[in-house]
Amino acid sequence: AYTANLTALLSVQAATSNINRVEDLRGRSIVAVSGSSAADYIRRSSFNLRADYVPTVAEAVEDLEKDRYSVWL
């Protein structure tokens, strides 16, 4: 589990190293955990971000590891 989490964190860092503000997320493949504060923010923001929502953190990590998404919020 530790290795998977570390890998996911490194993947996120590599994929998001040039993200400095919300506008930088446009056009990125985003995944968020349903019901999380990030998911709520994405749905309510005026930035028109598109994201897919998964039920668990484990699924988000797996999706990142498989390069299904470039950003996990």
Question: Two tokens at 40?
Answer: 């709520």
- In this predicted structure, what is the pLDDT of residue 23? 81
What does pTM read for this prediction?
A: 0.70
- In this predicted structure, what is the pLDDT of residue 12? 57
| CA 64 to chain CA centroid, nearest Å | 8
| Phi-psi map region of 56: left, alpha, beta (phi>0 left; psi -120 to 50 alpha) | beta
pLDDT tens-digit profile of 57-71? 999 989 988 989 988
**Buried b or exposed e, range 2-25, using 16+ CB within 10 angstroms:** eeeeeebeebbeebbeeeeeeeeb
pLDDT tens-digit profile of 6-43? 555 555 555 556 777 788 888 889 999 999 988 988 88
